[in-house]
Structure 1
Amino acid sequence: MTTEAAAHDAAQPEAAEEAVETVAEQGVESEGVPSPTETAAPAEAPDDEDRLVEEGEIAGDYLEQLLDVLDFDGDIDLDVDGDRAVVSIDGGDDLSKLVGRKGEVLDALQELTRLAVQQATGDRSRLMLDIARWRADRRDRLARLGTEVANRVAEKGGREALDPMTPFERKIVHDAVAAVDGVVSESEGVEPKRHVVVIKTS
C-alpha cells in the first residue's frame, strides 16, 4: 500500500465521525450525504400497510446511500409495527457511532429519514429507525422499569415519579404499568421534563 493510500484509509474513520457529528448537531445533511430532497417526487399514496411498506422501502434506499457515504457497513431490515414503518440497521462495526450519546445521533438520523420519506410521498412520516438494537434494548429496559415501579407502588402505596422521557418512552412505561393491578400511571410536567408518575389506586 502506498503512503498516499494509507493516509486516505486512516482518514476515513475520522471523516465518517465528523459527518455523523454534523448530522447530530445541525440536523442537516453532511457533505456527500444524500439530501432528503433528492428522493423521488411525491406519488399517490397507497392505503394502510402498503403505504407503510412503501415508507420503509424509501427509507431503506435513503439509509443505504447514507451508510455508503459515511463508510459504515450494516444490514437494513424493513418491517411494519402497528401504524408505523420500522427500519433497523444492524450487523456492522462501530454502528454505536450512529447512535450517539443517549441516542442523540440516532434521533437526528431518524428525523432526516422521515423527511426523506415525506419528500417522496407528500405525507408526514412516523417511521421509526433503530440502529444496533438501541431502541429495542431501550424498550425492554423501560418495560422492566415500568413493571418494577408498578409492583413496588402496589406493595408500598403512595406514588413514584420516574425520570423525564420522550412520548414514545412514556408510552412503553404506561403499557407496562397498565398490566399491574392496583396502580395507574399518568404523565406530568412539560416537555422536555415531562415524566411518568405511578400511583396506587386502592
Structure 2
Amino acid sequence: MTEVNEEKAAPAAPDVAALEQEGEIAADYLEGLLDIADVDGDIDMDVEGDRAVVSIVDIKGSDLVGTGGEVLEALQELTRLAVHRRTGERCRLMLDVAGYRQGRRAELSKLGARAAEDVKRSGQSKSLHPMTPFERKIVHDAVAAAGLRSESEGEEPERYVVVLPS
C-alpha cells in the first residue's frame, strides 16, 4: 500500500497587476460602449480581494441596470468576454453601474439575516426567490454570519437559496 501525502496548498495571493490590467481593459471597452450609446458616465477601477471591480458612476437613469439588474448582468458578461479576448485568461471582473450592486448587496444582506432569524424562530427551512450567483453569494454570507447553513437549489436561472435550521 502506497501512502500519498496530500497537502492543501495555500491559496495563491491575487496578482494585483493582472487584476489592474483587467480593470483597464474593461474600462476601455466600457468607455467605447458609452461613446457608441452616447451616454455620459465616468469609470472607476479598483481591486477588491481576488477580482477587478469596475464601476460606471455619475450616470443618469437606470438604462444600464435594467429591471432587476438584467442589463447590468449582460454588460458584465460582455465586458468579461472582452477582457478574456485580450488576455486569454478567465475573468471574474465585477461591474457596477450607479451603485446598484452596492445597494443590492445591503438589501440582500438584510434579506439573508431576516431569513436566518425566521428559520431560527420556526425551526423550519425557508426557500427564497430565485437569484443570480452574485445575489446568492451575499445571502449565503449573511446566513453564515447569523450562524446557520444555506444551500443553493434548482437550475439557472431559477436557482434559489434554502436556509436550513441548525
Quickly name the TM-score band, shorter chain normalised. Answer: 0.7 to 0.9
> CA offsets, 1:140-186, max 9 Å, x none?
111110001101211221111000112221111110001113x3211
Percent identity between the two aligned chains: 61
Quote the offset at 1:60 in angstroms: 0.7
Residue of structure 1 aligned with 2:135, choices 162, 169, 190: 169
Residue of structure 1 aligned with 2:84, choices 118, 137, 141: 118
Quote the Cα distance in structure 2 between the aligned partners of 1:103 and 1:122.
Answer: 27
Quote the offset at 1:48 in angstroms: 1.0
> CA offsets, 1:58-100, max 9 Å, x none?
1111111211121111110001111111100111222x11111
Residue of structure 2 aligned with 1:89, choices 56, 63, 77: 56
The answer for the alignment partner of 2:114 in structure 1 is 148
What is the CA RMSD across the aligned residues, in angstroms?
1.3
Q: Equivalent residue of 1:98, what SS?
A: coil
TM-score, normalising length: structure 2: 0.87
TM-score, normalising length: structure 1: 0.72
Give the letter for the 1:81 counterpart: E
The answer for the alignment partner of 1:193 in structure 2 is 158
Q: Equivalent residue of 1:50, what SS?
A: helix
Structure of greater Rg: 1
Residue of structure 2 aligned with 1:68, choices 14, 35, 42: 35
Match status 1:50 vs 2:17: yes
| Number of residue-to-residue matches in the alignment | 153
Q: Which runs of 4+ in 1 moved over 4 A?
A: none
Q: Equivalent residue of 2:128, what SS?
A: strand
Matching of residues 1-16 of structure 1 within 5 Å: none
Quote the Cα distance in structure 2 between the aligned partners of 1:192 and 1:68.
Answer: 31
Gaps spanning 5+ residues in structure 1: where? 1-46
The answer for the alignment partner of 1:136 in structure 2 is 102
Higher helix share: 1
Give the letter for the 1:105 counterpart: V
Quote the Cα distance in structure 1 between the aligned partners of 2:155 and 2:34.
Answer: 36
The answer for the alignment partner of 1:41 in structure 2 is none
Gaps spanning 5+ residues in structure 2: where? 1-13
The answer for the alignment partner of 1:29 in structure 2 is none
The answer for the alignment partner of 2:146 in structure 1 is 180
Quote the offset at 1:134 in angstroms: 1.1
